[in-house]
């Protein structure tokens, strides 16, 4: 059973493999079965059974899409898997439901106000599923030609030659489209589709006629037939755009391409009102469907009292998404006031939330997580080294133990071993200090550091959870 | 998720194809008419919410242009040209993103007294490269060098419930232009005459003649 699951995980990884490994890249879902019962180890998730079960119930609610404006708070100590659960939910929701992830401190931007940032985040989390007939261009790339001006500055000029089995046409490209093509690494021999309305490029694969171009191709390379007939086709497509995207398209003269550059700035309230009315109209006509998504605010205690009261109001809107927040704070000061409150969140907002608690991991679970991370980071570890590492995780923190995986992996590779042994762990344990030992060290040698006399004020320091 | 609709992007594609009740469909519309520069312009507000504009030459009574208003769910509205030259595009390439090169073949349709004609400009290949055939849902243009391919629908025939007939079809090539001619069958001629008759009954809206206005008001 376990081996089948492992094999499945391996298979998924082949497709979604990206070059870099993030802190939560091992998470592929919530690890629940059909009756929403959590499996102990599944889809990269370990333990936290009640929290995962609760997340599963929330997920059902989101999928039904009827309930708007619910708030969920994930509360727990640092390193107990709050972000992991949110990521798991995002994965389980799939591509079609908008999931916006932001950190609480992201709203403090110089370019836009706090409430504007929050409004944009909320509108990014509401999808509009639009059914429309669009013109798409589908063909095999014959040539991509991009000319940069000799001076290096100024607009680039681009040409794209596409063909089908029957015809061949040259297209002119605008600056943003050139960037898209560069980003997608489109090259001769690729079969691509371009949605004329949104400018979205998607690669379907490589043409069969080009199968012998290279001796070696990656496992992901998919070979497809060169398309037939006309290059431009009309297709009825259903695409999900977020309300924010519709806002941007309608607020700027240069249209949808602002989405790619990201320079959206503040959007006027009138534009939003118009869009809301328009969307409501489409909904009545049956042209569009609202897909309420999820807004995940990590480190929610970093929001201040203004944001909380804004959220309070925003959650009452019928177009509001489900808001999931995560915090690792206990009873603390609400930012922007001198009042203390549980989780640093005002009581009136807390009252509207469903609170899901995450508990510290047990030793067995720590071992499972470390094992998954070893696999994710491509490190092999001997059993006793893993036991030692688990002990370290229990005594210091899970994050510290995870940091030691790759570092000890590098140490073991230096001594030409493929497997991490206990000695490697010991070596990196002595090389890198954990939080406690670092504090110990500071206390011992306090006098020799600079500005040691103001150390008493240090208790107000913020330690953020990643 | 994606379903293919086999309608090619010919000018005026999403038409209400309802064969013989085309005249009934048009006459049920709210019509207004304007005579200007030797052209009779007729605007139809159709009962199903569509909008259509026709332009008739006053001398020849031939339809010069027919356009349909298409509203795009996200990006406002535009006009789709069914008959006549395409509307000029002044959009900057940076705002459009992608468009055909100016050397790419361009199709336009025009109607004469006896024929329906399509011109495909920017086709520099020799005449024997092309093959133009009639099939069930229209006319197909092919090139033996695989440079150009197009399926053309003929809404006029659909409206009277006819299929394309290969014997009425002919084509010539000169000045880098492929000209495809389809001789109008009697049924089409008959329908056009009826529509014209209906159009002529609409009394044109008076517009003030600014050029020859009595000079009561003299702007300084």
- For every residue of A347-395, which 3-state class applies, written as one string? HHHHHCEEEEEECCCCHHHHHHHHHHHHHHCCCEECHHHHHHHHHHHHH
Q: Among all chains, which residue has been given the structure tokens 């681009």?
A: A158
pLDDT exceeds cutoff 90 at A274: no
Split at pLDDT 50, 70, 90, the class of B210 is: low
> What CA–CA distance (Å, rounded) separates A320 from A70?
8
B23: left (phi over 0), alpha (psi -120 to 50) or beta: alpha
pLDDT exceeds cutoff 60 at A242: yes
Computed over every residue of chain B, the mean pLDDT equals: 81
What tens digit of pLDDT does each residue of A432-451 get? 988 888 888 888 888 887 77
Closest CA to A220 of A14, A13, A8: A14
pLDDT exceeds cutoff 80 at A82: yes
pLDDT exceeds cutoff 70 at B75: no
Contacting residues of B for A165, CB less than 8 Å apart: 146
Contacting residues of A for B138, CB less than 8 Å apart: none
**Between A14 and A207, whose confidence is greater?**
A207
Question: What is the pLDDT at residue A92?
Answer: 86
Phi, psi of A4 (to 5 degrees): -65, -45
What does the pLDDT average to over A152-174? 88
Closest CA to A267 of A82, A122, A98, A438: A122
Start-to-end CA distance of chain B, whole Å, equals 64
pLDDT exceeds cutoff 80 at A115: yes
- Chain A, 109 to 138: residues with Cβ < 8 Å from chain B are 130, 132-133, 135, 137
Helix crossing, A398-414 with A383-395: angle to 10°? Answer: 150
Q: Do A282 and B73 touch (CB under 8 A)?
A: yes
State the best of A129, A160, A233 to mutate against chain B, taking most chain B CBs within 10 Å: A233
Both tokens of A335, joined, read: 């930012």
Residue of B2, B95, B104 lying closest to A255 (CB–CB) = B95
Q: Among all chains, which residue has been given the structure tokens 């699951």?
A: A5
> What CA–CA distance (Å, rounded) separates A195 from A180?
12
Question: What is the pLDDT at residue B114?
Answer: 92
Q: Do A167 and B143 touch (CB under 8 A)?
A: yes
Given 3-state DSSP classes, what are the helix, strand and coil percentages for chain B, each rounded to the nearest 5? 20, 40, 40
Question: What is the pLDDT at residue B48?
Answer: 78
Whether the CB of B1 is below 8 Å from some CB of chain A: the reply is yes
State the best of B76, B98, B131, B153 to mutate against chain A, taking most chain A CBs within 10 Å: B98
pLDDT exceeds cutoff 60 at B5: no
Distances (CA, A) of A332 to A50, A108, A301, A325, B209: 25, 20, 9, 16, 78
Lowest mean pLDDT among A69-83, A246-260, B106-120: A246-260
Is B19-85+104-201 assigned to CATH 3.40.190.10?
no
Question: What is the pLDDT at residue A262?
Answer: 53
Residue of B5, B92, B99 lying closest to A234 (CB–CB) = B5
> What CA–CA distance (Å, rounded) separates B4 from A238?
12
pLDDT exceeds cutoff 60 at A71: yes
Q: Among all chains, which residue has been given the structure tokens 């080009």?
A: A210
Split at pLDDT 50, 70, 90, the class of A131 is: confident
Computed over every residue of chain A, the mean pLDDT equals: 82
What tens digit of pLDDT does each residue of B143-163 get? 999 999 999 989 888 888 888
Q: Are the CB atoms for A147 and A241 separated by under 8 Å?
A: no
> What CA–CA distance (Å, rounded) separates A123 from A275?
11
Question: What is the pLDDT at residue A37?
Answer: 86
Task: Decide: residue B90, CB within 10 A, 0-12 exposed, 13-18 middle, 19+ buried.
Answer: exposed
Both tokens of A55, joined, read: 């997340």
Split at pLDDT 50, 70, 90, the class of A168 is: very high
Distances (CA, A) of A161 to A147, A168, A189, A264, B99: 14, 7, 11, 31, 11
Residue of B9, B74, B142 lying closest to A249 (CB–CB) = B74
Lowest mean pLDDT among A153-167, A344-358, B61-75: B61-75
pLDDT exceeds cutoff 80 at A219: no
Residue of B100, B142, B151 lying closest to A169 (CB–CB) = B100
ipTM: 0.79
What tens digit of pLDDT does each residue of B7-42 get? 333 333 444 445 457 888 888 888 888 888 888 999
For A446, how many CA atoms within 13 A lie in the half-sphere containing its CB?
Answer: 9
pLDDT exceeds cutoff 50 at A10: no
Split at pLDDT 50, 70, 90, the class of A191 is: very high
Split at pLDDT 50, 70, 90, the class of A7 is: very low
pLDDT exceeds cutoff 50 at A15: no
What does the pLDDT average to over A285-295? 85
B146: number of Cβ within 10 Å:
14
Whether the CB of A248 is below 8 Å from some CB of chain B: the reply is no
DSSP secondary structure, A21-53, as one string: --TTTT--S--B-TTSPBPSEETTEES-HHHHH
Q: Among all chains, which residue has been given the structure tokens 């309300």?
A: A243
> What CA–CA distance (Å, rounded) separates A9 from A17?
11
> What CA–CA distance (Å, rounded) separates A216 from A233?
33
Round the CA-based radius of gyration of chain A to a whole number and report it. Answer: 26
> What CA–CA distance (Å, rounded) separates A419 from A384?
11
Question: What is the pLDDT at residue B209?
Answer: 61
Split at pLDDT 50, 70, 90, the class of A143 is: very high
> What CA–CA distance (Å, rounded) separates B69 from B54?
12
Split at pLDDT 50, 70, 90, the class of A297 is: very high
pLDDT exceeds cutoff 80 at A212: no
Question: What is the pLDDT at residue B7?
Answer: 35
> What CA–CA distance (Å, rounded) separates B21 from B15?
13
What does the pLDDT average to over A409-421? 88
Domains (ranges, CATH) in chain A? 41-97+293-357 (3.40.50.300), 132-237 (2.40.50.360), 363-447 (1.10.8.60)
Q: Do B5 and A236 touch (CB under 8 A)?
A: yes
Question: What is the pLDDT at residue A13?
Answer: 38
Q: Do B98 and A235 touch (CB under 8 A)?
A: no
Question: What is the pLDDT at residue B208?
Answer: 62
Q: Which of A102-111, A299-308, B210-219 has the highest mean pLDDT?
A: A299-308
Question: What is the pLDDT at residue A406?
Answer: 87
- Chain B, 129 to 158: residues with Cβ < 8 Å from chain A are 142-143, 146-151
pLDDT exceeds cutoff 60 at B6: no
Both tokens of A16, joined, read: 């979604």
Question: What is the pLDDT at residue B120?
Answer: 93
Q: Do A167 and B98 touch (CB under 8 A)?
A: no
pLDDT exceeds cutoff 50 at A413: yes
- Chain B, 70 to 89: residues with Cβ < 8 Å from chain A are 72-75
Dihedral angle of Cα B163, B167, B169, B174, to the nearest 10 degrees: 170
Q: Do B99 and A257 touch (CB under 8 A)?
A: no
């Amino acid at each position: 059973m376990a081996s089948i699951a492992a094999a499945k995980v391996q298979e998924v990884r082949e497709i979604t493999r990206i070059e870099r490994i993030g802190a939560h890249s091992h998470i592929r879902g919530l690890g629940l079965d059909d009756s929403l019962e959590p499996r102990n180890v599944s889809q990269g998730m370990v333990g936290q059974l009640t929290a995962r079960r609760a997340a599963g119930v929330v997920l059902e609610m989101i999928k039904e899409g009827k309930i708007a404006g619910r708030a969920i708070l994930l509360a727990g100590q640092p390193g107990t898997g709050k972000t992991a659960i949110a990521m798991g939910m995002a994965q389980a929701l799939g591509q079609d439901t908008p999931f916006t992830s932001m950190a609480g401190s992201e709203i403090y931007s110089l370019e836009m106000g706090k409430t504007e940032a929050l409004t944009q985040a909320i509108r990014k989390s509401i999808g509009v599923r639009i059914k429309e007939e669009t013109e798409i261009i589908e063909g095999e790339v014959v040539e991509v030609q991009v000319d940069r001006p000799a001076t290096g500055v100024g607009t680039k000029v681009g040409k794209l030659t596409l063909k089908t089995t029957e015809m061949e046409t040259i297209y002119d490209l605008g600056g943003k489209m050139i960037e898209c093509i560069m980003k997608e690494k489109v090259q001769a021999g690729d079969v691509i589709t371009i949605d004329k309305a949104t400018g979205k490029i998607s690669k379907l694969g490589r043409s069969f006629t080009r199968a012998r171009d290279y001796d070696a191709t990656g496992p992901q390379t998919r070979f497809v037939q060169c398309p037939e007939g006309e290059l431009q086709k009309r297709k009825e497509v259903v695409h999900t755009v977020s309300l924010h995207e519709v806002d941007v398209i309608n607020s700027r003269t240069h249209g949808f391409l602002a989405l790619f550059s990201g320079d959206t700035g503040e959007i006027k309230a009138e534009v939003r009102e118009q869009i809301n009315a328009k969307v409501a109209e489409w909904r009545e006509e049956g042209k569009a469907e609202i897909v309420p998504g999820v807004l995940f605010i990590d480190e929610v205690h970093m929001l201040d009292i203004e944001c909380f009261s804004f959220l309070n109001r925003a959650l009452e809107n019928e177009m509001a998404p489900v808001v999931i927040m995560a915090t690792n704070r206990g009873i603390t000061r609400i930012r922007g006031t001198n009042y203390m409150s549980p989780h640093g969140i005002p009581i009136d907002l807390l009252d509207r939330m469903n609170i899901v608690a995450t508990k510290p991991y047990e030793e067995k679970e720590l071992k499972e997580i470390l094992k998954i991370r070893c696999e994710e980071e491509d490190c092999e570890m001997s059993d006793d080294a893993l036991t030692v590492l688990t002990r370290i995780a229990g005594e210091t923190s899970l994050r510290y133990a995870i940091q030691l995986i790759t570092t000890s992996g590098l140490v073991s590779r230096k001594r030409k071993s493929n497997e991490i042994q206990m000695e490697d762990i010991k070596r990196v344990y002595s090389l890198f200090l954990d939080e406690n030992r670092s504090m110990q060290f500071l206390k011992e040698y306090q006098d020799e550091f600079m500005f040691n006399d103001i150390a008493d004020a240090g208790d107000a320091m913020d330690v953020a959870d990643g | 998720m994606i379903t293919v609709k086999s309608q090619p992007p010919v000018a005026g594609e999403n038409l209400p194809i309802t064969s013989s009740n085309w005249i009934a469909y048009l006459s049920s519309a709210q019509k207004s008419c304007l005579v200007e520069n030797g052209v009779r312009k007729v605007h139809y507000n159709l009962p199903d919410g569509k909008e259509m504009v026709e332009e008739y030459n006053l001398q020849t009574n031939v339809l010069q242009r027919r356009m349909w208003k298409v509203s795009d769910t996200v990006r406002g509205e535009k006009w789709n040209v069914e008959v006549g030259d395409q509307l000029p595009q002044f959009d900057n390439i940076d705002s459009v993103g992608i468009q055909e090169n100016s050397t790419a073949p361009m199709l336009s349709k025009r109607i004469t007294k006896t024929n329906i004609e399509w011109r495909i400009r920017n086709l520099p290949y020799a005449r024997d490269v092309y093959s133009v055939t009639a099939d069930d849902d229209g006319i197909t243009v092919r090139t033996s060098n695989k440079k150009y391919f197009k399926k053309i629908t003929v809404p006029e025939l659909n409206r009277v419930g006819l299929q394309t007939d290969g014997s009425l079809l002919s084509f010539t090539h000169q000045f880098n232009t492929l000209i495809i001619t389809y001789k109008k069958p009697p049924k089409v001629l008959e329908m056009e005459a009826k529509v014209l008759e209906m159009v002529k009954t609409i009394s044109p809206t008076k517009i003030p003649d600014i050029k020859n206005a009595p000079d009561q008001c003299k702007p300084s």
